[in-house]
C-alpha cells in the first residue's frame, strides 16, 4: 500500500533481492556493459562507418582517397565495367559464396559422424578426442596449409595411394585441385561446426527418440523426426561459424587451389594492397558483409517462423 | 474382479505373458527371472521402490530394452524379435517425451503418420483423441507452453490414438502435484474402462496402485514379491516387505507354543498372544519362530486396566490428528504399536498424550508372515 502512495518506490525494480532506482540501474548497466559497448564502438563501428564512407569516394591518381562521392565502386562490383558488362566481380562474389557453402557442407558431413562418435565415447576418451580435435588450432593456419602441400606433394603417401587407385597420375602432386582446397578448408573449419554439434548431441533427449520409436518410427524416421530437430540449434550455430569466415577465406584456395582464383578475401587485399584503391576495396568489403548479413537475416526469419525464436 | 470368491480375470485371454525374463546391467541384476501373465482389459500395476526392476520390465515390453534371457509374448506372439516400432504397444513416458518442435496436434498425429494412415483419417482420429483427453483448447500449442497435467494428457492421447493392444505407463503421474494426481487417477481409470485397453502401470506410490489397479505385482530387487488384487495384497501381505511397502504394519516376533484348535498360542514380547489359524500363509508348528503382523487400523484402543487375551497395557506416546482418523503411537513395556482410530464421535476424541490405555490385538487380525 505504501509503495503505491510513494512515487519513488513505484519506479523501483527488484533485482536479485535489491530494490534499485532507475538511476542506480542505469549506473550498474553502464558499469558492466559500458566497456564492451565502448570497445565495439571505437574499434568496430567507427572504422566500419569510415569504410562505409570511403566506399563512396574516388581513388586519386596515386591512390589517394578523393571526392567526389560516387556509387561507381558498387556499379563496378555489380558488373558495369568501362567496356560494358564485366562478370569479374559478380563471379568473385559467387565463387566465394560457393566456397563458403561448399566448406559448410563438407564440414557438416564430417561433423555428424564425428559428433556422435565422440559423444558415444567413455568420459575420459571424450576429453582426449576433443583435445585431438583442437590441437591443429595451436598451429597457424598458414603453416597448416603449407603442411598440406607437403602431405599432398608428388612423393607423399597420399599421392601414391591415389595413383595406385588410379585416381591421380603417378609422380604428380595432388594440388592444386578442388579436392585439395576442400581438404584444406575442412581442416581449417571442422571444429567450428563439430564442437557446437557435439554439444547438441551431448544434450540430446534420447527419451524423445524412444518415444518416436515407440510410436512406430523406424531408425531413419527416428533420426529425421526426433533427433535432427534437437540438433538444429547447434547446427545453425556451427554453420554460421563456418560459413562466414569460409566465405572470406583466400589463403587456403590460394595455396592449395593455385594462385589463379581470386576470392573475396584476396580481392579486398588486392585493392587495399598493390592496387591502392581503398574506395573500391571498401565497397567489396561492404558487399561481402551485406550478402552474409542478408543470408543470416533470412535464416533467422525462417527459424523464427519455425520455432518462435531466431538468432538475430 | 472377485465375484463370489472366484477370480474372474483368469477367464480372460492373456494379453501379455512374461516368461522367466532375466536382465542384467553389469553386475546389477535388474530382473531375476520374472514371470507373470496380464489379462486383456486389465489395469495391472508394477509396484516397487526405485531400482526394483519395474521400469526395466516395462521397457522390455515396449521393445526399448531387450531381455538377456526369457520370453515376452504379446497377444500370444513371441515379441522378442519384434523391434519397438512394430510392437502393438505404446508407452506414456515418465518425462512425457513429447516432441518439443511439434504442436500438440502433430504430436498426437505422429503415430498414425508413421503408419502412413491417410491424412483425412488422421484428422478425424486426432479430433477424437483430443476430445477424449480434453485438450481441445491447446492443439496448436507447443509442449513447452503446456502445464504438467496438460502434457500428461497429450502424452496419453498420443499413445492411445494408435489403439495399442497394451498401453504401458511409466510413472505417468509422478511429476504432478497431489491434487492433480488424484484427479488424473480418476480420469485414467474411467479412460481405461472406456477404451478397454490393457494398461500396465509402473509406480512406486502404493496408494496410487491400490486406487487404480485390478491387480498389482509388488516387486523388489528384480523379483516379484507378491502378485494379486489390491485387497488381497493389503489384507494378506506375504512377507515383511510387502506388509511395510503397502501401507504400514505392526510386526511382532513370536514363538509358537501350542495349537489350540481354531487358534495358535504364541509367546511374544507383548506377552502371550493368540492368533487365528488361516488357510493362506505359511503353516506354523508349535516350537517354531515367526513374525506376526497387524495393520494399525485393526489395533483397538480400549480403556486402561482391561484384561483378557491379546490385551496389552500401553501409554499414548504420540498422537497425530488427521481429520478422519487419529494415529496413535502406543508405548508398551515391550515396544511400540501404531494404532489408527476412526474419529467417529463429534468433538474431542478424549485421549491425550500420556494417557494410559489398553491395546487390543484381535486374534483374527493377526497374520503370520513368511519372514
Domain end residue (candidates: B190, B222, B240): B240
On average, the pLDDT of chain B sits at 88
Which of A282, A199, A298 has its CA nearest to residue A240?
A: A298
| 8 A C-beta contact, residue B370 and residue B282 | yes
Does one domain contain both B262 and B117? no
HSE-up (13 A, CA, CB side) for residue B345: 5
pLDDT of B37 > 70? The answer is yes
C-alpha–C-alpha distance, residues A79 and A81, integer Å:
6
For residue A207, the chain B residues in CB contact (below 8 A) are: 93, 95, 97
Would you give the distance in Å from CA B116 to the centre of its chain? 38
| 8 A C-beta contact, residue B20 and residue B69 | yes
CB-based contact, A167 to chain B, within 8 Å: no
For residue A210, the chain B residues in CB contact (below 8 A) are: 64, 84, 91, 93, 97
Which of A240, A234, A109 has its CA nearest to residue A182?
A: A109
Which member of B85, B100, B142 has the closest CB to residue A213? B85
Does one domain contain both B254 and B231? no
CB-based contact, B224 to chain A, within 8 Å: no
| Beta bridge partner(s), residue B319 | B328
Q: Which pLDDT does position B296 carry in this prediction? A: 93
Residue position matching grid coordinates 484381535 = B362
Listed by number, the residues of chain B in 54-73 with a beta carbon closer than 8 Å to a beta carbon of chain A are: 62-64
| 8 A C-beta contact, residue B89 and residue B133 | no
Does one domain contain both B152 and B270? no
For residue A208, the chain B residues in CB contact (below 8 A) are: 97-100
Q: Which pLDDT does position A21 carry in this prediction? A: 78
Subunit contact A215:B159, Cβ cutoff 8 A = yes
Q: Which phi-psi region, left, alpha or beta, contains residue B148 (left: φ > 0; alpha: ψ -120 to 50)?
A: alpha
Subunit contact B101:A212, Cβ cutoff 8 A = no
For residue A211, the chain B residues in CB contact (below 8 A) are: 91, 93, 97-99
Q: Which pLDDT does position A27 carry in this prediction? A: 87
CB-based contact, B22 to chain A, within 8 Å: no
Does one domain contain both B273 and B140? no
Q: Which pLDDT does position A311 carry in this prediction? A: 41
| 8 A C-beta contact, residue B55 and residue B8 | no
CB-based contact, B193 to chain A, within 8 Å: no
Subunit contact B162:A216, Cβ cutoff 8 A = yes
Number of A:B CB contacts under 8 A? 68
For residue A308, the chain B residues in CB contact (below 8 A) are: 142
Q: Which pLDDT does position B166 carry in this prediction? A: 94
The domain total for chain B is 2
Subunit contact B101:A306, Cβ cutoff 8 A = yes
Backbone angles phi, psi at B346, to 5 degrees: -75, 145
Which member of A205, A215, A232 has the closest CB to residue B110? A215
Domain end residue (candidates: B240, B266, B289): B240
| 8 A C-beta contact, residue B214 and residue B47 | no
Looking at residues B98-118, what average pLDDT do you find?
93
Q: Which pLDDT does position A7 carry in this prediction? A: 55
Write the DSSP symbol of residue A58.
Answer: E
ipTM score over 0.90, yes or no: no
Residue position matching grid coordinates 514371470 = B35
Give the C-alpha distances (Å, rounded to integers) separating B9 from B39, B41, B86, B229: 7, 9, 28, 10
Give the C-alpha distances (Å, rounded to integers) separating A164 from A161, A168, A180, B142: 5, 8, 18, 56
Q: Looking at CA atoms only, how far is residue A307 from chain B in angstroms?
A: 7
CB-based contact, A306 to chain B, within 8 Å: yes
Q: Which pLDDT does position A5 carry in this prediction? A: 52
Which of A281, A249, A273, A266 has its CA nearest to residue A101?
A: A249
Please tell me the total number of residues recorded for chain A in this structure: 312
Buried b (16+ CB within 10 A) or exposed e, A251-267: bbbbbbbeeebbbbbbb
Listed by number, the residues of chain B in 96-155 with a beta carbon closer than 8 Å to a beta carbon of chain A are: 97-101, 110-111, 114-115, 142
Each residue's pLDDT tens digit, B12-21: 889 999 999 9
Q: Which pLDDT does position B31 carry in this prediction? A: 93
C-alpha–C-alpha distance, residues B54 and B48, integer Å:
7
Q: Which long-range contacts (CB under 8 A, 24 or more apart) does A165-172 make?
A: none
Does one domain contain both B174 and B145? yes
CB-based contact, B95 to chain A, within 8 Å: yes
CB-based contact, A229 to chain B, within 8 Å: yes
C-alpha–C-alpha distance, residues B146 and B69, integer Å:
41
Which member of A221, A307, A308 has the closest CB to residue B114? A221
Does one domain contain both B193 and B252? no
Q: Which pLDDT does position B5 carry in this prediction? A: 42
Write the DSSP symbol of residue A224.
Answer: I
Q: Looking at CA atoms only, how far is residue B60 from chain A in angstroms?
A: 12
Would you give the distance in Å from CA A180 to the centre of its chain? 20
**Which CATH number goes with the domain that contains B357?**
2.40.50.100
C-alpha–C-alpha distance, residues B274 and B363, integer Å:
6
Window from A152-156, A304-308, B145-149, B159-163 with minimum mean pLDDT: A304-308
Q: Which residue of chain A is at minimal alpha-carbon distance from B116?
A: A216
Give the C-alpha distances (Å, rounded to integers) separating B288 from B237, B238, B253, B258, B265: 20, 18, 11, 10, 12
Q: Quote the crossing angle between the two packed helices A228-248 and A88-119, to the nearest 10°.
A: 140
Does one domain contain both B260 and B206? no
What percent of chain B lies above the pLDDT cut of 90? Answer: 52
Does one domain contain both B24 and B44? yes
Provide the 3-class DSSP secondary structure of residue A209. Answer: helix
- The burial class, CB within 10 Å (0-12 / 13-18 / 19+), for B253 is middle
Window from A25-29, B34-38, B167-171, B199-203 with minimum mean pLDDT: A25-29
For residue A216, the chain B residues in CB contact (below 8 A) are: 85-86, 111, 114-115, 162
Which of B309, B259, B326, B322 has its CA nearest to residue B288?
A: B259
Does one domain contain both B227 and B320? no
Each residue's pLDDT tens digit, B302-350: 888 777 788 888 999 999 998 889 999 999 888 899 999 998 888 777 7
Q: Looking at CA atoms only, how far is residue A310 from chain B in angstroms?
A: 14
Subunit contact B84:A211, Cβ cutoff 8 A = no
CB-based contact, A211 to chain B, within 8 Å: yes
Looking at residues B277-281, what average pLDDT do you find?
77
Residue position matching grid coordinates 522378442 = B80
C-alpha–C-alpha distance, residues B212 and B188, integer Å:
8
C-alpha–C-alpha distance, residues B261 and A108, integer Å:
83
Does one domain contain both B123 and B160? yes
pLDDT of B6 > 70? The answer is no
Q: Which pLDDT does position A307 carry in this prediction? A: 55
Which member of B86, B95, B99 has the closest CB to residue A226? B99
Q: Which pLDDT does position B9 carry in this prediction? A: 53
For residue B158, the chain A residues in CB contact (below 8 A) are: 215
Sheet holding B311-321, edge to edge: B300-302, B356-360, B311-321, B325-332, B335-342
Does one domain contain both B214 and B270? no
Confidence of residue B2 (pLDDT cuts 50, 70, 90): very low
Q: Looking at CA atoms only, how far is residue B368 from chain A in angstroms?
A: 44
C-alpha–C-alpha distance, residues A108 and A101, integer Å:
10
Per residue of chain A (312 residues), give pLDDT as tens.
444 455 555 566 677 777 777 888 888 888 889 899 999 999 999 999 998 888 888 877 777 777 888 887 888 888 777 777 777 888 888 888 888 899 999 999 999 999 999 999 998 999 999 999 988 888 888 898 888 888 888 788 887 788 788 777 777 777 788 888 899 899 989 999 999 999 999 999 999 999 999 999 999 999 999 999 999 889 988 988 998 889 888 888 888 887 667 888 888 888 888 888 888 889 888 888 888 888 878 877 776 666 544 343
pLDDT of B10 > 70? The answer is no
DSSP string across B210-253: HHH-SEEEEEETTEEEEEEEHHHHHHS--SHHHHHHSS--EEEE
Does one domain contain both B190 and B305? no
Q: Domain residues for B41?
A: 2-240
Which residue, among A214, A231, A236, A309, would best test binding to B if mutated, counting the most B CBs under 10 Å from its CB? A214
Q: Which grid coordinates are listed for B169?
A: 505407463
**Which CATH number goes with the domain that contains B38?**
3.40.50.300
Pick the most confident of A86-95, A295-304, B70-79, B175-184: B70-79
Q: Which residue of chain A is at minimal alpha-carbon distance from B164?
A: A215
Looking at residues B77-84, what average pLDDT do you find?
90
Q: pTM (2 decimals)?
A: 0.79
Domains delineated in chain A: 106-260+287-305 (1.10.3720.10)
Domain end residue (candidates: B214, B240, B266): B240
Amino acid at each position: 500500500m505504501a509503495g503505491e502512495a510513494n512515487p519513488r518506490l513505484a519506479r523501483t525494480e527488484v533485482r536479485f533481492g535489491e530494490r534499485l532506482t532507475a538511476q542506480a540501474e542505469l549506473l550498474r548497466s553502464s558499469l558492466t556493459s559500458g566497456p564492451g559497448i565502448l570497445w565495439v564502438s571505437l574499434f568496430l563501428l567507427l572504422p566500419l562507418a569510415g569504410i562505409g564512407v570511403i566506399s563512396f569516394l574516388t581513388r586519386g591518381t596515386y591512390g589517394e582517397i578523393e571526392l567526389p562521392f560516387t556509387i561507381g565502386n558498387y556499379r563496378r562490383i555489380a558488373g558495369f565495367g568501362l567496356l560494358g558488362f564485366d562478370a569479374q566481380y559478380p563471379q568473385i562474389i559467387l565463387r566465394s559464396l560457393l566456397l563458403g557453402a561448399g566448406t559448410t557442407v563438407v564440414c557438416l558431413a564430417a561433423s555428424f559422424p564425428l559428433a556422435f562418435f565422440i559423444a558415444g565415447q567413455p568420459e575420459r576418451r571424450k576429453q582426449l578426442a576433443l583435445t585431438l580435435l583442437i590441437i591443429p588450432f595451436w598451429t597457424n593456419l598458414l603453416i597448416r596449409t603449407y603442411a598440406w602441400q607437403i602431405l599432398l606433394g608428388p612423393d607423399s603417401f597420399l599421392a601414391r595411394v591415389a595413383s595406385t587407385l588410379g585416381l591421380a597420375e603417378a609422380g604428380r602432386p595432388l594440388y592444386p585441385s578442388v579436392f585439395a582446397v576442400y581438404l584444406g578448408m575442412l581442416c581449417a573449419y571442422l571444429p567450428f561446426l563439430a564442437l557446437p554439434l557435439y554439444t547438441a548431441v551431448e544434450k540430446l533427449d534420447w527419451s524423445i527418440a524412444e518415444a518416436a520409436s515407440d510410436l512406430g518410427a523406424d531408425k531413419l524416421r527416428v533420426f529425421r523426426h526426433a533427433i535432427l530437430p534437437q540438433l538444429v540449434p547447434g547446427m545453425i550455430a556451427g554453420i554460421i561459424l563456418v560459413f562466414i569466415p569460409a566465405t572470406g577465406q583466400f589463403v587456403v584456395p590460394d595455396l592449395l587451389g593455385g594462385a589463379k582464383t581470386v576470392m573475396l578475401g584476396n580481392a579486398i587485399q588486392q585493392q587495399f594492397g598493390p592496387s591502392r584503391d581503398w574506395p573500391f576495396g571498401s565497397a567489396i568489403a561492404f558487399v561481402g558483409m551485406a550478402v552474409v548479413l542478408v543470408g543470416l537475416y533470412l535464416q533467422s526469419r525462417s527459424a523464427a517462423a519455425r520455432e518462435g525464436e531466431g538468432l538475430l | 474382479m472377485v465375484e463370489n470368491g472366484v477370480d474372474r480375470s483368469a477367464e480372460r485371454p492373456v494379453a501379455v505373458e512374461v516368461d522367466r525374463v532375466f536382465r542384467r546391467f553389469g553386475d546389477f541384476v535388474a530382473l531375476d527371472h520374472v514371470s507373470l501373465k496380464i489379462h486383456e482389459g486389465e489395469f495391472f500395476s508394477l509396484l516397487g521402490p526405485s531400482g526394483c526392476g519395474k521400469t526395466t520390465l516395462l521397457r522390455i515390453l515396449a521393445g526399448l530394452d531387450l531381455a538377456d534371457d526369457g520370453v515376452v509374448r504379446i497377444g500370444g506372439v513371441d515379441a522378442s524379435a519384434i523391434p519397438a516400432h512394430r510392437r502393438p504397444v505404446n508407452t506414456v513416458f515418465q518425462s512425457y517425451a513429447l516432441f518439443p518442435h511439434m504442436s500438440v496436434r502433430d504430436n498426437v498425429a505422429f503415430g498414425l503418420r508413421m503408419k502412413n494412415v491417410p491424412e483425412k483419417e488422421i484428422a478425424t482420429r486426432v479430433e477424437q483423441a483430443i476430445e477424449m483427453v480434453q485438450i481441445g483448447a491447446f492443439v496448436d500449442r507447443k509442449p513447452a507452453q503446456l502445464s504438467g497435467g496438460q502434457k500428461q494428457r497429450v502424452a496419453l492421447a498420443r499413445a492411445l490414438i494408435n489403439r495399442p493392444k497394451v498401453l504401458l505407463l511409466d510413472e505417468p503421474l509422478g511429476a504432478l502435484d497431489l491434487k492433480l494426481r488424484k484427479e488424473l487417477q480418476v480420469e485414467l481409470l474411467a479412460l481405461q474402462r472406456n477404451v478397454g485397453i490393457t494398461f500396465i502401470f509402473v509406480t512406486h506410490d502404493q496408494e496410487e496402485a491400490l486406487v487404480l489397479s485390478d491387480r498389482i505385482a509388488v516387486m523388489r530387487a528384480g523379483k516379484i514379491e507378491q502378485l494379486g488384487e489390491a485387497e488381497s495384497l493389503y489384507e494378506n501381505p506375504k512377507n515383511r516387505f510387502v506388509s511395510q511397502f503397502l501401507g504400514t504394519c505392526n510386526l511382532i516376533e513370536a514363538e509358537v507354543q501350542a495349537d489350540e484348535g481354531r487358534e495358535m498360542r504364541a509367546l511374544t514380547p507383548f506377552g502371550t498372544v493368540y492368533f487365528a489359524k488361516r488357510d493362506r500363509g505359511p503353516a506354523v508348528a508349535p516350537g517354531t519362530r515367526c513374525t506376526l503382523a497387524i495393520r494399525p487400523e485393526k489395533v483397538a484402543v480400549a480403556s486402561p486396566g482391561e484384561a483378557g487375551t491379546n490385551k496389552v497395557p500401553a501409554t499414548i506416546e504420540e498422537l497425530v490428528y488427521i481429520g478422519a482418523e487419529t494415529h496413535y503411537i502406543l508405548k508398551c513395556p515391550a515396544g511400540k504399536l501404531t494404532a489408527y482410530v476412526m474419529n467417529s464421535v463429534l468433538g474431542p476424541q478424549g485421549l491425550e498424550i500420556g494417557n494410559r490405555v489398553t491395546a487390543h490385538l484381535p486374534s483374527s487380525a493377526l497374520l503370520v508372515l513368511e519372514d
